Amino acid sequence: MMKTLTTAMKASISEVLETMFFLPIEFGDQKTHTQTKMDKEKANMACQLKFSGDFNGRFLLVTPKDLLIEVAENFLGESRDTLEDEHLVGTLTEMLNMICGNALSKLDSKVPFELDIPEVISESDIPGSQPFIIIKTTQSNMAITVIIE
Amino acid sequence: MSYSILIVDDSFPMRSVIKKTFRSAGYASAQFLEAADGKQALERMKNDWIDLVVTDYNMPVMNGLDLVKAIQTLDLLKNIPIIVVSTEGNETKIKEFMDAGARGYITKPFTPENIRDLVTDILGEVDYDEDIDDSDEGFDF
């Protein structure tokens, strides 16, 4: 199950980030949030999206704030001087929403998955031992994972 | 011809991106109205002239499917075409929307071409002489 889901997630991440956010990416080795040292290096923003269906769970996305600003510039076509927190939060949650919806739609599910509304979470709510897919960009890395409950 | 297009999405950045995508797809002179959920959309539709509704599915207060169903119960509004733009690409969900009265369904991520092809089917060809996007908003697919 996790292997299938991870494959679907990677395909969706590439599709979404390149089509809607104009962000070329590569994937790094999976690491826990603690191993990424993202929490030690830069200010980050994180959000989660719960889903239910054939199985239930939640997706988590963590990104450095300075990378998110660049992504928001690409997504919204606005200069960074005009971006406010509302733009950054909206970009972050929409990015996860698209990845999650796209990935789950690639699965052969018996019933349609239902997605909750994405919500911003504190970095302290990120489980340190959970393995994350590392998304490498030219500037820095994002991290995404799914937790099956 | 300039259209009046209602964009319904709880994400303010997403509404902005959809507007810019429409402009990029040739609908530069359209008038765009916005609503953050289905309930707000119904209020706007009762008070403003709307040629096309573009709605998300997953929203608080009233989701996109309930909005489509509600519009179909209102004689004055039920002929206004509705397009769904959603992350959810499950065929069962798409069929549910189409059966409820939606005229088209686009899954995210999307391109201006996806929008233009579908909207052209519904509203007809864009008059490019009138609708060339000469805005300077820096948005470029």
Q: Domain of A138: which CATH number?
A: 3.40.1550.10
Residue B141's pLDDT is what? 42
Q: Is residue B135 part of a domain?
A: no
Q: What is the pTM of this model?
A: 0.85
Please compute the mean of the pLDDT values over residues B14-36 and round it to a whole number. Answer: 90
**pLDDT of B129 higher than 70:** no
- The residue type at A112: P
Residue B74: the pLDDT is 94
Query: Structural domain tally of chain A?
Result: 1
- pLDDT, residue A34, reads 72
Q: Is the pLDDT of residue A109 over 80?
A: no
CA angle A27, A77, B64 (to 5 degrees): 85
Percent of chain A with pLDDT over 90: 62
The pLDDT, as a whole number, for residue B138 is 45
Task: Give me the amino acid identity at B119.
Answer: V
Nearest to B12 among A90, A97, A105 (CB): A90
For residue A145, pLDDT beyond 90? yes
Q: What is the mean pLDDT of residues A108-127?
A: 86
**In this complex, do B87 and A117 lie within 8 Å of one another by their Cβ atoms?**
no
The C-alpha atoms of residue A73 and residue A83 are separated, in whole angstroms, by 8
In a domain, B59, yes or no: yes
Q: Look at A109 and B90 and tell me if their CB atoms are within 8 Å.
A: yes
Q: What's the pLDDT score for residue B127?
A: 58
pLDDT of residue B134: 47
What is the structure's pLDDT at B76?
92
CB contact under 8 Å between A20 and B109, yes or no, is: yes
Return d(Cα B6, Cα B52) in angstroms, integer: 6
In this structure, is residue B27 part of a structural domain? yes
Task: Using CB atoms, pick whichever of A20, A76, A109 lies closest to residue B16.
Answer: A76
A79 → chain B, closest CA residue: B138
What is the structure's pLDDT at B132?
Answer: 46
Interface test with chain B among A15, A71, A75, A108, by most B beta carbons within 10 Å: A75
From start to end of A21-130, where are the E strands? 26-32, 44-52, 57-64, 114-115, 119-121
**Average pLDDT, integer, range B52-56:** 96
Identify which of A61, A74, A68 has the alpha carbon closest to the alpha carbon of residue A18: A74
Residues 6+ away with beta carbon under 8 Å from B75: none
| Phi, psi at B46, each rounded to 5° | -80, -20
Q: Chain B window 28-57: which residues touch A at a Cβ cutoff of 8 Å?
A: none
User: What is the span of the domain harbouring residue B89?
Assistant: 4-125
User: What is the mean predicted confidence (pLDDT) over B13-37?
Assistant: 90
Q: What is the ipTM of this complex?
A: 0.79
**Are B108 and A87 a contacting pair at CB < 8 A?**
no
- How many domains, chain B? 1
In a domain, B86, yes or no: yes
Does A128 or A23 have the greater pLDDT score? A23
Cα(A142)–Cα(A126) distance, rounded to whole angstroms?
14
Here the CATH number for the domain that contains residue B41 is: 3.40.50.2300
What mean pLDDT value characterizes chain A?
90
Contact residues, chain B, for A51 at CB < 8 Å? none
- Cβ-Cβ contacts under 8 Å, B17 against chain A: 20, 75-76
A24-64 residue pLDDT tens:
999 998 888 777 777 666 789 999 999 999 899 999 999 99
Is any Cβ of chain A less than 8 angstroms from the Cβ of B135? no
Reply yes or no on whether the pLDDT at A89 is more than 70.
Answer: yes
Interface test with A, best of B92, B108, B113 (most A CBs within 10 A): B108
Which range of residues forms the domain containing residue A73? 2-148
A42: left (phi over 0), alpha (psi -120 to 50) or beta: beta
Tell me whether residue B136 is in a domain.
no
